[in-house]
Amino acid sequence: MTAVLECTGITKRFGQLAAVDDVTLTIDRGARHALIGPNGAGKSTLFNLLAGTLRPTSGRIVLDGRDVTGKSDAWRSRAGLAKTFQHSSLFQSLSVADNVAIAAQRVSGDGLRLRRSARSCPDVDRCVDRCLQQTGLSERSGSRVSDLSHGERRQLEVAVALATEPTLLLLDEPTAGMSAAESDRFAHLVESLPKEVTVLLIEHDLDVVFRLASRISVLHLGRLLADGPPADIRADEQVQAAYLGTGATEELFLPAVGT
């Protein structure tokens, strides 16, 4: 299996604090890779380093064989890296379809064209229909973003990300603030994503993580604590200690719900 993303020894310091400390991580093509860790472990910093909104203090990030360490987030997006944000980041005054179309027309190259009417880009329309269908939003295409529920906004985030035709999709805590039913629907959505799209999921909800992930990396105090298939992670004592301190931690990782 080839790697879509390779980080080698990346470190991010804020003053004295090393928020991400010498992390080396490989994400395989087609993987459903989850990144977990207690609060303050450096997950969000690592996400921003990968997304390109922060630059690492040291280390190297290689996307699809190309060194992207010094590249902007826009550049990385054009290179096939898409992301959804922890806090929904959408175009509030536009319709659901237009939100996806903005992403799709960047890919098709219509985003700067004056002669193309927004109502007659066949490529863009086709892409919009497909992405909305994949994320279960087809019947909401005419609604405004401000009329969507929280869960639907997260679905739309994914639709927008998919429209950029990514090879790697980063999801930053997508189920934060969701009800159990919404989380379940969202997990189902991630499961139904095309296999060519590699997914890196940063997530708090361990039920969702163990349901989706084919591989899990655990971050603790900025360092990579463990990295392996779900079964190994579940059994790892270090991981259990990091999550709850030493003590009775079995319940947290019991294969209880749906796994």
Partner 1 sequence: MTRPMTTPSSRGSDMAVDEVVAAGRPSSRGVFLTRHLPIGAAIVLALFAVPFFAPADLANALTRILALALLAVSLDLLVGVSGLPSLGHAAPFGVGAYAAGITAKEVTPFAPVPLLAAVVAGAVLSVLVGLVVVRTKGTYLLMLTLAVAELVHVLAGRWTAVTGGTNGLVGIPAMTLVPGGEPVRLAGIRYWYVLAVALLFFVLLVVVSRSAFGRSLRGIRDNEQRMSSLGYSTFRVKFTVFVIAGAVAGAAGSLYVVQSRFVSPTDLGFEVSALALLAVVIGGRGSLWGAVLGTALVFYLRDEIGPLLGGRGGLLMGAVFIAAVYLLPRGFAGIRVPRRFHRRQEAS
For partner 1, the binding residues (CB under 8 A) are 51, 53, 72-75, 77-78, 83, 89-95, 97-98, 101-103, 105-107, 110-119, 121, 124, 139-144, 147, 160, 164
Two tokens, residue 85:
């944000």
- Of residues 64 and 207, the one with the C-beta less far from partner 1: 64
Least spacing, CB of residue 90 vs partner 1, in Å: 7
Q: How far is CA 235 from CA 119, 204, 240, 242, 254, in A?
A: 54, 18, 8, 13, 10
What are the structure tokens assigned to 106, written together?
């960047």
Q: CB of residue 212 vs partner 1: minimum separation in angstroms?
A: 23
Distance CA 252, CA 129 (A): 40
Residues 196 and 88: their CA atoms lie apart, in Å, by: 25
Nearer to partner 1, 48 or 183 (CB): 48
- Beta carbon nearer to partner 1, 119 or 195: 119
Closest approach of partner 1 to the CB of residue 250, in Å:
40
DSSP assignment, residue 172? Answer: E
Closest by Cα among 170, 195, 174 to 29: 195
Least distance CB 49 / partner 1 (angstroms): 14
- Provide the CB-side half-sphere exposure for 9 (13 A, CA): 2
Q: Compute the least distance from the CB of residue 24 to partner 1, in Å.
A: 25
39: burial class by Cβ within 10 Å (0-12, 13-18, 19+)? exposed
Asked whether 151 and 176 are in contact (CB, 8 A), the reply is no
Closer residue to partner 1, CB minimum distance, 38 or 111: 111
Residue closer to partner 1 by CB (options 2, 93) is: 93
Work out how close the CB of 113 gets to partner 1 at its nearest, in angstroms, rounded to a whole number.
5
**Distance in Å, CB of 84 to partner 1, minimum:** 10
Cβ pair 99, 88 in contact under 8 A: no
Give the separation between CA 114 and CA 116, rounded to whole angstroms. Answer: 6
CB 208 within 8 A of CB 173: no
